[in-house]
């Protein structure tokens, strides 16, 4: 046991003699934290610091943009003009605005007349189909106008048997309504196409 103690003492002496020298270096002073307002948490402080960094970055970007903008001079732009003003200017270059205006009005009138005749014939056909108001003055007026609009087309269709006259009126006025509508649209589109040429 004494041997073990003696060996331990020798080991200790050897390690003390051959131990590397340790240099003591002054530690840096601890970082001072900026003074926080009373009650501010670490998260709130971090948010505030991020917001300050973002604001500084934004200011730097704006300053760079302002520096580059000062050297570039943009040409003034023409004010925007409305559709009607541009169309009037285009028509003014042609010189034929009066003729175009007349054709445009004619196309609108043809379309309106075709639509009106089609509507009157459709109402007449509906009244005949429902059998509403036979003998009343409004019904008599509508049937006389429809007969006038159909003209010779009324005699094209002939039915026999019970209610033959009602069937003839219904078919003739319905077909006439469709014919007026199609003819009005075709005539209007033809005239408008002439405007563009």
Q: Decide if 99 contacts 144 (C-beta within 8 A).
A: no
| C-alpha to C-alpha distances, 133 to 136, 141, 154, 174, nearest whole angstrom | 5, 11, 21, 19
Residue 136 lies in a domain: yes
Query: Tens of pLDDT along 24-41?
Result: 555 555 555 555 555 568
Residue 6 lies in a domain: no
Does this model's pTM top 0.75? My answer is no
d(CA 142, CA 134) in angstroms, rounded, equals 11
Residue 146 lies in a domain: yes
| DSSP structure string for 27-86 | PPPPPPPPPPPTT--HHHHHHHHHHHHHHHHHHHHHHHHHHHHTT--PPPPPPP--HHHH
Residue 192 lies in a domain: yes
Residue 145 lies in a domain: yes
d(CA 141, CA 121) in angstroms, rounded, equals 12
d(CA 100, CA 195) in angstroms, rounded, equals 6
Query: Tens of pLDDT along 120-166?
Result: 999 888 888 887 767 778 788 888 888 888 887 777 777 787 877 77
Give the total number of structural domains in the chain. Answer: 1
| C-alpha to C-alpha distances, 163 to 124, 131, 168, 170, nearest whole angstrom | 16, 11, 9, 11
d(CA 157, CA 166) in angstroms, rounded, equals 11
Residue 46 lies in a domain: no
d(CA 61, CA 92) in angstroms, rounded, equals 50
Q: How confident is the model at residue 49 (pLDDT cuts 50, 70, 90)?
A: very high
d(CA 155, CA 175) in angstroms, rounded, equals 13
User: Domain range holding 141?
Assistant: 97-196
pLDDT at residue 63 tops 80: yes
Q: What is the DSSP letter of 161?
A: S
d(CA 156, CA 175) in angstroms, rounded, equals 11
Max CA distance (Å), the chain: 148
Residue 65 lies in a domain: no
Neighbours of 180 (CB within 10 A): 22
pLDDT at residue 13 tops 90: no
Residue 4 lies in a domain: no
């Amino acid at each position: 046991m004494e041997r073990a103690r003696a060996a331990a003492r020798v080991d200790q002496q050897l390690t003390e003699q051959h131990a590397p020298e340790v240099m003591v270096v002054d530690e840096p002073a601890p970082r001072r934290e900026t003074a926080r307002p009373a009650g501010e948490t670490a998260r709130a402080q971090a948010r505030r610091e991020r917001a300050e960094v973002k604001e500084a970055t934004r200011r730097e970007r704006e300053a760079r943009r302002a520096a580059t903008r000062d050297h570039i001079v943009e040409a003034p732009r023409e004010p925007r003009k409305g559709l009607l003003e541009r169309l009037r200017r285009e028509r003014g270059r042609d010189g034929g605005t009066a003729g175009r205006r007349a054709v445009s009005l004619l196309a609108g009138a043809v379309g309106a007349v075709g639509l009106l005749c089609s509507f009157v014939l459709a109402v007449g056909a509906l009244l005949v189909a429902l059998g509403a108001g036979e003998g009343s003055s409004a019904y008599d007026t509508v049937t006389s106008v429809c007969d006038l609009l159909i003209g010779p087309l009324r005699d094209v269709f002939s039915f026999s048997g019970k209610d033959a006259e009602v069937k003839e009126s219904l078919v003739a006025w319905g077909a006439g309504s469709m014919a007026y509508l199609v003819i009005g649209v075709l005539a209007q589109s033809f005239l408008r196409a002439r405007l563009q040429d």
